[in-house]
Amino acid sequence: MNVRKITGNIMSRTTLFAALIILSMGCTNLKDFNGIWEGAIMEDASVRSGFSSRTQMQVDIQYANSRKLEATMTTCVRDENQETCTPGDFHDTPLEHLEKAQNDSLNTLTFGGEPYAVFLMTAQPTDPHEKEMIVIVSLHGKDRIELRLLRGNERYGVFRLTRQKDN
């Protein structure tokens, strides 16, 4: 019996098994996030400033991988009867990457719930006199996205978005 051969086979099988586990953990296909996502701002005033508690958001993701997200967003404010939604600060606004953040440790930013990916981006409101806002998009599973909009202490909002069934 060749002990070296048996040990080598066990080690190579163990190494292969470990490699397969590691690869399967990182194989979430972010293209599954393509499509229309909608949701409301969190009403809690401790995580909302400068936005109506009736603000709604729609995000259209055209492309997603671990390093890049191509998407647009639109916001509106629902009336008290929930019948109409008046246009908000953004209308089919492209989300732009914070390029330098991709090369910084900020690129590894994460949140509770261990999202598959987090993107640091910016968006320019439809009104050209408004200042650009920071957008943080975190992709959680195939059924949820969280999006944070912020500009200093004056504007802050957290949106929980779900996939629209018509996608």
pLDDT digits over 55-85, tens only?
Answer: 999 999 999 988 889 999 999 999 988 789 9
**Residue 30 binned pLDDT confidence (cut-offs 50, 70, 90):** confident
Q: Is the pLDDT of residue 19 over 80?
A: no
Range of the domain at 142: 29-163
State residue 18 phi and psi, 5-degree precision: -65, -40
Let me know: does 122 contact 132? Beta carbons within 8 Å: yes
130 occurs within a structural domain: yes
User: Which phi-psi region, left, alpha or beta, contains residue 92 (left: φ > 0; alpha: ψ -120 to 50)?
Assistant: left
> How many structural domains comprise the chain?
1
**Location of structure tokens 């972010």:** 30
Tell me if 135 is assigned to some domain.
yes
Tell me if 3 is assigned to some domain.
no
Residue carrying the six token digits 């992709």: 139
Q: What is the CATH number of the domain that holds 104?
A: 2.40.128
Q: What is the mean pLDDT of the chain?
A: 82
In a domain, 73, yes or no: yes
The residue with greater pLDDT, 160 or 8, is: 160
Q: What is the DSSP secondary-structure string of 4-56?
A: HHHHHHHHHHHHHHHHHHHHHHT---GGGG-EEEEEEE---GGG-BSS-TTEE
136 within some domain: yes
**81, part of any domain:** yes
**Is residue 151 over pLDDT 70?**
yes
What pTM was computed for the model? 0.78
